[in-house]
Chains A and B, each alone.
Chain A
Amino acid sequence: MAASSVEELLAKAELDEAEKLKSITVKKDLDLEFDVGNLLACDSNRVELRQQNREEFLKALARDNTQLLINEIWKLPTERVEEAIVAKLPDPVTALPREKPPPKPRPPTKWEQFAKLKGIQKKKKTNLVWDENAKEWRRRWGYKRANDDTKDWLIEVPATADPNEDQFAKRVKAKKERVAKNELNRLKNIARAQKIKIPGAGLTPKAQQSKDELALAETVAKTSTASVGRFQDRLPKEKPSKKKGQKRKFEPVIGNFSHEKQKQLDLLQIMDNKKPKLDVTKAVNKQMREEDREAAAAKYRKGAGKKGRKGNMPGKGRGPGGKGGKGGKGKGARLCCSGLVSCIYFKALQKKRHHHQILKMQRIYMHTNEHFDVFTTVLAPQGRCQFIAEVEKMVAVHRYEPQWPDELQLTPGDVILVLSKHEEGRWFGRLVGGQRGYFPASCVMELSQAKKQITSLRRTVSVLDDAGVRRRYQTGHVQQALRRGSRARGGALDHGQTDSEGPDSAPHTQRSPSLLHRILSKCRRKSQCQGATNRAFEGD
Chain B
Amino acid sequence: MTQLDGITKPKTKRSKRFLESRAPKLSEDLKTAMIMKGGNTSETVTQALKDVYSLKKPNAVLYKKKNITRPFEDSTSLEFFSKKTDCSLFLFGSHNKKRPNNFIFGRMFDFHVLDMVELGIEKYVPLKQFKAETCPEGTKPMLVFAGEAFNVDSELKRLKSLLIDFFRGPKVEGIRLAGLEHVLHFTALDGKIYMRSYRCMLKKSGCRTPRIELEEMGPSFDFVMRRTHLASEQLYHLALRQPKALKPKKKKNISHDAFGTKFGRVHMQKQDLTKLHTRKMKGLRKRRGDAAASQDEVVAPKVLKES
Contact = CB atoms under 8 A, between A and B. Distances in A.
B145 A42 contact: yes
B209 interface: yes
B238 to A, nearest CB: 8
Contact of A62 (B161, B168, B198): B198
B144 A41 contact: yes
B155 interface: no
A65 B165 contact: no
B178 to A, nearest CB: 7
A204 interface: no
Given A79-B174, A97-B107, A102-B242, A46 B144 contact: no
Interface in B29-59: 31
Contacts of A103: 23-26, 243
Contact of B240 (A20, A67, A84, A95): A95
B205 A81 contact: no
B6 A102 contact: no
A101 interface: yes
Contacts of B111: 100
A380 interface: no
Interface of A: 19-21, 23-24, 37-47, 49, 54-55, 58-59, 61-63, 65-67, 69-71, 73-74, 78-79, 81, 84-89, 92, 94-103, 186-187, 189-190
B140 A61 contact: no
Looking at chain B, what size class is its interface with the partner chain?
Answer: 35 or more
Interface stretch (B212-220, B256-264, B269-277, B278-286): B212-220
Contacts of B208: 74
Contacts of A78: 177
Given A42-B151, A101-B110, A61 B146 contact: yes
B306 interface: no
Contacts of B202: 70
18 contacts: A23-B205, A39-B140, A43-B147, A47-B187, A61-B187, A63-B212, A63-B213, A67-B211, A70-B202, A73-B180, A74-B208, A74-B210, A89-B174, A96-B240, A98-B109, A99-B24, A99-B31, A102-B241
B164 A96 contact: yes
Interface of B: 5-7, 23-26, 28, 31, 88, 107-111, 114, 140-148, 150-151, 160-161, 164-165, 168, 171-178, 180, 183, 185, 187-190, 194, 196, 198, 200, 202-203, 205-214, 216, 236, 238-243
Contacts of B150: 42, 44
B174 A87 contact: yes
A70 B239 contact: no
A70 B141 contact: no
Contact of B148 (A19, A44, A87): A44
Contacts of B205: 20-21, 23-24
A88 B176 CA distance: 9
Contact of B146 (A47, A88, A189): A47
Identify which of B25, B108, B175, B196 gathers the most chain A CB atoms within 10 Å of its CB: B175
Nearest to B204: A23
Given A20-B206, A190-B6, A69 B142 contact: yes
B185 A62 contact: yes
A6 B149 CA distance: 49
B183 A66 contact: yes
A58 B186 CA distance: 9
Nearest to A21: B207
Given A20-B206, A84-B178, A88-B173, A43 B212 contact: no
A88 B164 contact: no
Nearest to B205: A23
B175 A65 contact: no
Contacts of B236: 97
Contacts of A81: 174
Nearest to B215: A59
Contact of B175 (A21, A59, A62, A87): A87
Contacts, number: 193
A15 B289 CA distance: 72
A391 B26 CA distance: 99
B13 to A, nearest CB: 15
Contact of A99 (B108, B176, B207): B108
- Main secondary structure, interface of B, reads mixed
B24 A100 contact: yes
B174 A41 contact: no
Contact of B183 (A38, A62, A186): A62
**Nearest 4 A-B pairs (CB), nearest first?**
A20-B206, A97-B239, A102-B243, A100-B24
A267 B88 CA distance: 69
Contact of B200 (A37, A66, A100): A66
B239 A24 contact: no
A38 B214 contact: no
Contacts of A63: 212-214
Contacts of B146: 43, 45, 47, 61-62, 65
B7 A47 contact: no
A92 B208 CA distance: 25
Contacts of A74: 177, 208-210
Given A47-B187, A47-B189, A71-B209, A92 B144 contact: no
Contacts of B24: 99-103
A62 B186 CA distance: 9
Contacts of B148: 44-47
A18 to B, nearest CB: 10
Given A43-B145, A98-B240, A98-B242, 10 more contacts: A24-B209, A24-B210, A47-B146, A63-B214, A66-B198, A71-B209, A73-B175, A85-B178, A88-B174, A101-B110
Identify which of B164, B165, B242 gathers the most chain A CB atoms within 10 Å of its CB: B164
A99 to B, nearest CB: 4
Contacts of B172: 89
A44 B145 CA distance: 8
Contacts of A49: 189-190
Contact of A86 (B177, B200, B240, B242): B177
B214 A59 contact: yes
Contacts of A73: 175, 177, 180
A70 B205 CA distance: 13
B177 A58 contact: no
B107 A89 contact: no
A28 to B, nearest CB: 11
Nearest to B5: A190
A66 B173 contact: no
Nearest to B141: A39
B80 to A, nearest CB: 16
A386 B255 CA distance: 103
Nearest to B184: A62
Identify which of B146, B180, B240 gathers the most chain A CB atoms within 10 Å of its CB: B146
A89 B151 CA distance: 25
A23 B213 CA distance: 11
B145 A41 contact: yes
A89 to B, nearest CB: 6
Identify which of A40, A88, A102 gathers the most chain B CB atoms within 10 Å of its CB: A102
Identify which of B23, B114, B140, B144 gathers the most chain A CB atoms within 10 Å of its CB: B144
Nearest to B213: A63
A103 B26 CA distance: 7
